[in-house]
Structures are given as C-alpha cells and as structure tokens.
Amino acid sequence: MNLYELTVNDTEKIALDDLLFSDENKAALLQTIKEHEYIEELKKYNLKVDNKILLHGHSGCGKTTTAKAIAAALNKNIVIMNLSTLINARIGETSKNVKAIFEKAIREKAVLFLDEFDQIGKSRDSDDKDVGEMRRLVNTIIQLIDYFPSDSLLICATNHYHSIDTALLRRFQIRLQFEMPDEGELDLYYDKVLAGFPEHLQDILRKYNISYAEAKDYIHTTMKKQIIAELDLQKLLQQ
C-alpha cells in the first residue's frame, strides 16, 4: 500500500462561519488562524505560532469539518490520514509511512489532519500485543511533532482522549473539546440544513440527543423519502 492510498487530498471548502461549536473553541481557532496569517510579522519578534491542535470529543460533532474549515481559511491544502487505516495496512511499516505522510504535508506547507489519533497514540504502558511497535511509533511521532515546521499545521482528532500517551498530549499547544450539541444548538443546525429544501418539506419531526452528523443523516434520509413520495405521486397523476 503506497502513500497516496493512505492519504486523501480533500478539496471540499468549508467556511469557519458555517461551523457550530462553542464560543471558546471558535475564539481559539480564530486566534490560530490570525497567527498564521501574520506569521512573518510575528517572527520578527521571535514569536512562534501555535501549529499543533488536538480536537477531542464525541464522534460526529464537527472535528473533521473544523480541520477542513481551518485549511480553507488559510488557503492551504489539507492532507487527511485515518490512522486506523495506516496501522491496519502493515504494522511493521507504520513508522515509515507516518514519516512519509509528515514529509508530504511539510513539502506542501499543508494542513495535516490525523484522524483517530488514539490508534497511534496509545500509551506506551498499554497491554497491546504490538506494544513494542507502538512504543517505537509513539517515539517517532513525538520526534515528528517536535520538528514540525511552523508554516504547516498539524491537527489531530480523537474520540478517546484519555487513551493517548501523555507525552504526546503535551506536544499540542491547543486542545479543544467537542461536546454533543444541546437542543438549542441542534435547532439552529436543523434550521440551517432544512433551509436548502422546499419550504413545505421542512416541517419534520426533530430528533435530539444526537450529534450533528447524525442529525444531518436523519434530515437527508427524511428529505429523500418525502421527495421520492412526491415524485411518485406526480407520476401517478400523470398516468
């Protein structure tokens, strides 16, 4: 399995204003984006920009879309790597593949997004059967993160924050938690997504205690059923 089978160059553009997350998270990300916009000016004062971000929390609450939005805001390419895919490819070659992916992002001055970071960042004290390989891998990642250049941006995401080695956690200047949305936040999201459909189809039963991703899937499934039902009715009336 080669490097290009392990990574995705995503071209989807997502605006930061389109994201729904806490004011605290938004303020931290806006600060990071501003730092990278003025990176050369800050260098004159020996000020280093924050370029290592860990996003953690519930699945489907916007970690991946946040990484894409940051890349779009900085007009950078984003290289996406799912670490479970990398490890399952060939465990013995994991360190070499990780180095190659980092080198690719550095060459392109890109945003490197490592999803399912807990897969590669397990504690070196774990009982994993491949614990020796994992220990070497954690050490490799620590070195790569330490020497990651400021003109690139590393964003990692995990649903299992507490399973990550503490030595790795310390490398991230910014750690943002993504919570499940409450009813008010979901209502805003429902309004936003439903606005793209005909008004007479928008009054659907709303589900709560779910993630944004689950809400989106539910809306799309419901809309498809309603639109197909209307098309079937139109076809029947035309017969």
Q: For residue 44, what pLDDT is reported?
A: 95
What's the residue count for the chain? 239
Residue type (1 letter), 46 = N
H/E run at residue 134 = helix 131-146
Q: For residue 129, what pLDDT is reported?
A: 52
Residue type (1 letter), 114 = L
d(CA 95, CA 186): 40
d(CA 81, CA 97): 11
- First-last CA distance in the chain: 54
Q: For residue 9, what pLDDT is reported?
A: 56
Q: In a 3-state reduction of DSSP, which class is residue 154?
A: strand
d(CA 131, CA 84): 16
Predicted confidence pLDDT, tens digits, the chain (239 residues): 455 555 555 556 777 777 777 788 889 999 999 999 999 999 999 999 999 999 998 888 889 989 999 999 999 999 998 887 776 655 567 778 888 899 999 999 999 999 989 887 555 555 555 667 777 778 888 999 999 999 999 999 999 898 888 888 999 999 999 889 999 999 999 999 999 999 999 999 999 999 998 999 999 999 999 999 999 999 888 87
d(CA 47, CA 64): 28
Residue 7: beta bridge partners?
81
Interior/surface letters 200-231, b for 16+ CB within 10 angstroms, e for the rest: eebeeebeeebbbebbeebbeebbeebeeeee
> What is the token pair recorded at 219?
């809306």
Q: Sheet of 52-57: strands edge to edge?
A: 7-10, 78-82, 111-115, 153-158, 52-57, 174-178
d(CA 13, CA 57): 23
